[in-house]
């Protein structure tokens, strides 16, 4: 692994030597970055027991993105495997729906994709971007704290809070236009309002709406094809915070998402459409006691999903309904040399799907207990141990563990690493013997298998991190051994009542993923900064000793921010996607490609800002590069965004 990562490591060591020789007169004034996702408690990002990075609200604004996935693809080890739907993949952990990545909103699960094995990307466009304070990204497993679905990593989206005694906010309008093909327009509008109603009561209210035309191009055969479906979304999120006493508070959260992909012909002979409507409500109690802190949350999610695709045999159109009841209670406290987090989780998932289940639906309940303890062995050395047990009413219980060490050589210079287990429980449709689904473009059907085991992994990583006031450096090596991957196999028997090939899910695959990640950043001045990251990934089918498909071997991002004069800023970035295997049998690889984006920002007044620029500057078209690409890119497109803040 490391011989093939020599270039990244040498670059890191050269950069480290350069930075080490740079005078640093103000390192004592270095601002710490505080994160909460790795321990359910505030801690310094460098010593957190995970590989973690933070995307700020400023990063999101500068990107002029149309979805969260578009922002995250510039992080080390992350790619957006977009086939017209966004799927954020961390360290190569990918399936048809991207469900190895656990998505949290303010620390709480938010996901309806486990109801649909065809996959969807509703969650990536369900949160108003202007409501986000920061996004904490954990690369690597976190099952010992969060349970199933965290095999690839965790993305925690943290929203802005209102402040008592003041009201502030913003409104914006954004327009994007592609300069090729048919269906060139995209528009976004939104607002954020937050502040204090009384000395004890504050609020945050955000909303946005997004429209995307269906974008058509000619495919390799010269036929007109819809690369991206038409898309209409409306989102609104509200939070009300009440400081009940000096040490207790209550949060009430409400959210509504509507995501529609109207009917269209996505090829000359096939058509598709999708629609999702979802409501979320949650109540959180927080306590800050003389012995520690507590948090108790209960939330309800209701989703209605319609899916219609002519590439499948009857039923082409399906209606899903999903209800999730989620509860979590945990405490965090210090004692002697230790900081301990302990808690319980509960989830009740109900799925209604008359087309897929003979019984009309499925239900899965799960309970989890977890504890994680950080011990300061010395002033410099911290040991973190964690463990979790989950019990499912239709599946065997699962235990996961974690051990992590962090040693701080000096302020901002840390060596850390460890071992962790992770798993992903089969979804209800995987396990239910009453479930069957038409697949293989209508030539087969897939049935549930109640004998499935959980997908499991053992993970190892080590990181060296240096964060100073003007520069930062990070180098991480990781190895991930995955067992019991769930894949579809064909059975020898044919159901005489259904003249189609019969298939089922089975635990047959093993995978080995290993690689390295390098991050570099330098602030030349308040007006000029640069940051970059490079990731190397070797992904193998361990059973057959062949490359896993569509996992780029190298990825790299370079981002430059420059303010040449007051009130005018330039943001430029380059995004490199390396070669990737597309066919394990023949060994065929897809060529590497690089996209470039250029953006400008002008303060028209103290309250009014204009962002404008061009994305995919060189107009990379993957269909022209190789017709075997399943991922899709927008052609060169221009954007303008006007924001009024108050």
Cβ neighbours of residue 386 closer than 8 Å, sequence gap 6 or more: 49, 144, 145, 370, 371, 372, 373, 401, 402, 403
Which two structure tokens, joined as six digits, stand for 227? 């690369």
Q: Which of 308, 320, 173, 171 is nearest to 229 (CA)?
A: 308
pLDDT digits (tens, 9 = 90+) for 7-49: 443 444 333 433 344 444 333 456 788 999 999 999 999 999 9
What's the pLDDT at 290? Answer: 96
Provide the edge-to-edge strand list for the sheet that holds 132-139.
51-56, 132-139, 153-159, 101-105, 108-109
Question: By the 8 A CB rule, do 388 and 143 touch?
Answer: yes
Q: Helix, strand, or coil here: 432?
A: coil
Which two structure tokens, joined as six digits, stand for 211? 């429209």
What CA–CA distance (Å, rounded) separates 552 from 57? 28
What's the pLDDT at 394? Answer: 79
| Residue 123: φ, ψ to 5° | -65, -30
What's the pLDDT at 427? Answer: 76
Residue ranges in the chain whose pLDDT is less than 70: 1-30, 95-98, 111-119, 312-315, 437-444, 488-502
What's the pLDDT at 118? Answer: 58
In the chain the domains, ranked by start, together with CATH numbers, are 3-645 (2.40.170.20)
Q: Which of 217, 218, 82 is nearest to 629 (CA)?
A: 82
What's the pLDDT at 238? Answer: 95
Which two structure tokens, joined as six digits, stand for 298? 């209960």
Q: What is the DSSP letter of 634?
A: -
Is residue 167 exposed (0-12), middle (13-18) or buried (19+ Cβ within 10 Å)?
middle
Question: By the 8 A CB rule, do 579 and 614 touch?
Answer: no
Q: Which of 381, 389, 435 is nearest to 408 (CA)?
A: 381
What's the pLDDT at 358? Answer: 77
Question: By the 8 A CB rule, do 204 and 173 touch?
Answer: no
């Amino acid at each position: 692994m490391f011989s093939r990562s020599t270039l990244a490591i040498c670059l890191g060591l050269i950069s480290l030597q350069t930075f080490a020789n740079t005078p640093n007169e103000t390192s004592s004034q270095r601002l710490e970055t505080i994160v909460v996702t790795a321990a359910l408690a505030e801690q310094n990002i460098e010593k957190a027991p995970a590989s973690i990075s933070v995307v700020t609200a400023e990063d999101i604004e500068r990107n002029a993105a149309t979805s969260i996935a578009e922002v995250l693809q510039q992080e080390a080890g992350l790619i957006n495997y977009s086939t017209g739907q966004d799927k954020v993949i961390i360290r190569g952990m990918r399936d048809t729906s991207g469900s190895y990545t656990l998505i949290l909103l303010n620390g709480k699960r938010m996901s309806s994709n486990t109801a649909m094995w065809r996959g969807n990307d509703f969650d990536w466009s369900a949160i108003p971007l202007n409501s986000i304070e920061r996004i904490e990204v954990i690369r690597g497993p976190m099952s010992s704290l969060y349970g199933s679905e965290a095999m690839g990593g965790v993305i925690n989206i943290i929203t802005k809070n209102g402040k008592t005694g003041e009201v502030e906010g913003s409104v914006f309008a954004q327009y994007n236009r592609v300069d090729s093909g048919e269906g060139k327009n995209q528009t976004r509008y939104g607002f954020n309002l937050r502040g204090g109603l009384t000395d004890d009561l504050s609020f945050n209210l955000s909303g946005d709406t997004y429209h995307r035309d269906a974008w058509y191009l000619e495919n390799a055969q010269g036929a007109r094809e819809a690369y991206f479906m038409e898309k209409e979304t409306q989102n609104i999120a509200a939070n009300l915070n009440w400081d009940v006493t000096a040490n207790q508070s209550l949060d009430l959260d409400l959210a509504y998402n509507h995501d529609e992909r109207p009917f269209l012909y996505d090829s000359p002979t096939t058509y598709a459409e999708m629609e999702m409507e979802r409501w979320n409500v949650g109540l959180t109690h927080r306590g800050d006691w003389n012995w520690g802190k507590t948090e108790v949350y209960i939330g309800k999610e209701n989703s209605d999903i319609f899916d219609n695709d002519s590439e499948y045999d009857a039923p082409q159109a399906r209606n899903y309904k999903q209800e999730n009841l989620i509860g979590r209670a945990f405490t965090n406290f210090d004692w002697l040399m230790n900081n301990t987090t302990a808690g319980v989780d509960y989830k009740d998932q109900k799925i209604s799907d008359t087309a897929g289940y003979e019984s009309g639906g499925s239900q899965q309940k799960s309970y989890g207990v977890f504890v994680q303890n950080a011990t300061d062995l010395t002033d410099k050395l911290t040991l973190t141990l964690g463990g979790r047990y989950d019990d499912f009413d239709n599946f065997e219980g699962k235990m996961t563990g974690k051990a992590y060490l962090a040693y701080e050589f000096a302020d901002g210079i840390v060596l850390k690493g460890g071992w962790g287990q992770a798993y992903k429980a089969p979804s209800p449709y995987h396990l239910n013997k009453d479930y069957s689904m038409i697949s293989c473009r209508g030539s087969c059907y897939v049935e549930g298998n109640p004998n499935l085991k959980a997908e499991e992994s053992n993970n190892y990583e080590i990181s060296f991190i240096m964060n100073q006031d003007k520069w930062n450096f990070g180098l991480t090596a990781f190895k991930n051994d995955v067992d019991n991957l769930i894949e579809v196999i064909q059975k020898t028997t044919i159901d005489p009542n259904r003249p189609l090939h019969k298939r089922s899910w089975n635990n047959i695959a093993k995978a080995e993923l290993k690689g390295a990640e390098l991050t570099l950043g330098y602030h030349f001045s308040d007006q000029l900064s640069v940051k970059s990251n490079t990731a190397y990934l070797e992904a193998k089918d361990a059973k057959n000793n062949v490359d896993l498909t569509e996992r780029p071997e190298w990825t790299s991002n370079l981002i430059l921010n420059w303010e040449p004069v007051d009130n005018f800023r330039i943001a430029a970035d380059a995004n490199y996607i390396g070669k990737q295997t597309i066919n394990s049998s023949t060994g065929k690889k897809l060529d590497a490609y690089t996209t470039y984006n250029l953006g400008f920002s002008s303060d028209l007044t103290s309250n009014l800002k204009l962002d404008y620029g061009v994305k995919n500057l060189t107009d990379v078209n993957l269909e022209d590069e190789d017709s075997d690409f399943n991922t899709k890119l927008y052609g060169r497109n221009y954007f303008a965004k006007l924001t009024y803040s108050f």
